Amino acid sequence: MKQIVIRTRNDSFTGTLDDSALSDAIWLSLPFHATTNMLGSEIYFEFPLTDIDISGEEVTVLDAGDIAYWPRAHALCLFFGPTPLSGDDGRPVSKYPVIKIGRIDGDCSSMEDAGDRQRITIEQRN
């Protein structure tokens, strides 16, 4: 398992990526800086990967704390609560299929404060 640190404008979160080839490619591309997009309680941002087979089980229903890759948009997604498509159970629902690749450790509800169109940094945690 590969450990990461997610730094927003006012907080830091740790997470763990799984052992897939997709996660390996992301981890080896770190550090990475981007500008956030927020949709409900989801942060996503472009994270282009080249020369890699992007495969894995594609899902739309996730759990708060899930880290996923959106192949269609070449974006990394961080789910920390309900999204506009969530049902009564409050589980995040992605409009487009994503591949779950990891989890944010602990409570990530304060990720809401990261804000839209703000800087985010993903780094390897040693």
Domain count within the chain: 1
User: How high does pLDDT run on average in the chain?
Assistant: 95
What average pLDDT does the segment 101-118 reach?
95
What average pLDDT does the segment 7-11 reach?
95
Helix intervals (H) in 20-64? 21-28
Element (H, E) at 28: helix 21-28
| pTM of the complete model | 0.96
Domain that holds residue 30: 2-124
What percentage of the chain has pLDDT greater than the value 70?
100
Distance CA 6, CA 104 (A): 9
CATH code at 112?
Answer: 2.40.100.20
Q: How is residue 53 written in tokens?
A: 């087979």
Residue 81 and residue 2 in contact, taking contact as beta carbons nearer than 8 Å: no
